[in-house]
Amino acid sequence: MSSTVEYKSNGTIKVSKPNRGQTVLRWLLIGSFIFTIVGFFLMDYTGLDLTRAIPMTIDNLGQMFLSPSLNNTTWTNALWQVGVTLSLGFLATILGAVVSLFLAFGTAVNLSKPWLSNTIKGFITIVRAVPTVLWVLIFAIAAGLGAVAAVIGMMFHSIAYLVKAYSEAFEEVDEGKIEALRASGASYGHILFQVIVPQTKSYLISWTFLRFEINFGVAVAMGAAAGAGGIGYELFMASGFYYDMQEVGAITLIILVVAIILELLANRLKVSA
C-alpha cells in the first residue's frame, strides 16, 4: 500500500498510510475509469458512419448557435413561456420551502426527539431517492398531465431536498444558546424563530434559491415530459416536431441566459444575507 505525504504544523513531513475511506475512493475512481474505457469498446456502432455523422453534427451545432432564430414562434411568446417555466419552478420551491421549514424543526437532532428525527429522515431519504420526473408522473395519475402534476411532483422532491439542508443548518447552531434559552423558560417557538431561524437565514436563503435553480431546469424538462407547458414544451416542439435547429439554438440560448441571471441573483442574495 502506498503512502501519502502530510505536513505537520511546524512544517515537517509526516508520512502516513491512507485510511480505509481514501483507499475505497481511489479504487472507485480507478474502477469507474476502467468501465468508462471498456464501455466505449462494448457499444454497438452498427450503422454509424462517422464520415457523415461528424459533418452533420457540426452543421447542426452551427445552425443552433451561429444563426439562432425563432421561426415557428415569436420572441414575445418565447419570453412568456420562460415566465411560465419560472413560475412553475418558483411555486414548487416556495410551497416546498414552507413545508420543509417545519419538517426540518422535527428533523434536527438538537430540536426534536430522536424517534421523530429518525422517522422524518427515513421518509425524506426514500422520497429523495426517487427522481423528480417519476414523482411528477405518479401525481399525474391523480391530477392528470399538466402544470398541477409538475408543481406537486417538483414540490414533493424539493421538500425532501430542503428538509435535509435546513435540518443540517439548524444542527450547526450553538447548543449552549439553546440550552440557555430553555433554562430561562423560553418557549419552543421563541427558540425557533428568535434564535434558530435568524442565525441560519443566510443558509436557508442560499439553499432555497439553489433549489429554485434546480426546479427551473426540471420545469424545462417537465414542459415536454408532463405537458406542463412553458419553454420546455417549445423546445420539444422545435426539436421533435419541426426539427428546426435554429429555433432549438435560440431557445437553448434563452434558457442559458435565464440560468446565468439566476446564478447572479443567487450570488447577490448570498452576499446580502
Identify whether residues 96 and 214 lie together within a single domain. Answer: yes
Calculate mean pLDDT across residues 121-140: 86
What does the pLDDT read at residue 155? 92
Joined grid coordinates for residue 172: 450547526
Residues 250 and 204 in one domain: yes
Strands, E assignment, the chain? 4-7, 13-16
Given this model, what pLDDT does residue 16 score?
61
Long-range (24+ apart) CB contacts under 8 A made by 238-242 are: 238/72, 242/71, 242/72
pLDDT computed for residue 176 by the predictor: 78
| 31-60 pLDDT tens trace | 999 988 888 888 877 777 878 888 888 998
Q: Do 184 and 91 have their domain in common?
A: yes
Rounded to whole angstroms, how far apart are CA atoms 16 and 4?
6
Does one domain contain both 129 and 169? Answer: yes
Do 195 and 246 fall into the same domain?
Answer: yes
Does residue 65 surpass a pLDDT of 90? no
Same domain, 222 and 183: yes
Full residue range of the structural domain in which residue 150 is found: 73-272
Grid cell in block for residue 242 = 419541426
The whole-number pLDDT of residue 4 equals: 53
Q: How confident is the model at residue 89 (pLDDT cuts 50, 70, 90)?
A: very high
Phi then psi for residue 35, to 5 deg, are: -65, -35
Q: What percent of the chain has pLDDT over 70?
A: 92
Residue 171 lies in a domain: yes
pLDDT at residue 5 greater than cutoff 60: no
105 has a pLDDT exceeding 80? yes
Residue 38 and residue 82 in one domain: no
| 111 and 27 together in one domain | no
Average pLDDT over residues 71-100: 91
Cell numbers standing for residue 92: 414548487
The mean predicted confidence, pLDDT, of the chain is 84
Q: 235 and 146, same structural domain?
A: yes
Nearest CA-CA partner of 230 in 112, 92, 103: 92
- Could you give phi then psi for residue 15, rounded to 5 degrees? -100, 125
Residue type, 260: I
pLDDT category, 1, cuts 50, 70, 90? very low
For 85, counting Cβ atoms within 10 Å of its Cβ (0-12 exposed, 13-18 middle, 19+ buried), the class is buried
64 in a structural domain: no
* Range with the poorest average pLDDT among 86-90, 142-146, 249-253: 142-146
Taking alpha carbons only, the member of 234, 203, 227, 265 closest to residue 83 is: 234
Structural contact between residues 91 and 131, judged by C-beta atoms closer than 8 angstroms: no
| pLDDT digit string, tens, across residues 181-218 | 788 877 888 888 888 888 888 889 889 998 999 999 88
Domain match, 45 and 20 both:
yes
Q: How does 183-206 read in b/e, with b if 16+ C-beta sit within 10 Å?
A: eeeeeeeebbeebbbeebeebbbb
* C-alpha cell read off for 101: 421549514
Residue 20 is assigned to a structural domain of this protein: yes
Residue 10 pLDDT greater than 80, yes or no: no
**Do 123 and 246 belong together in one domain?**
yes
d(CA 49, CA 59): 16
State how far the Cα of 86 lies from the Cα of 94, in Å rounded to an integer.
Answer: 12
Residue at 122: amino acid letter: G
Does residue 103 surpass a pLDDT of 90? Answer: yes
101 contacts: CB under 8 Å, gap ≥ 6: 162, 166, 204
- The domain total for the chain is 2
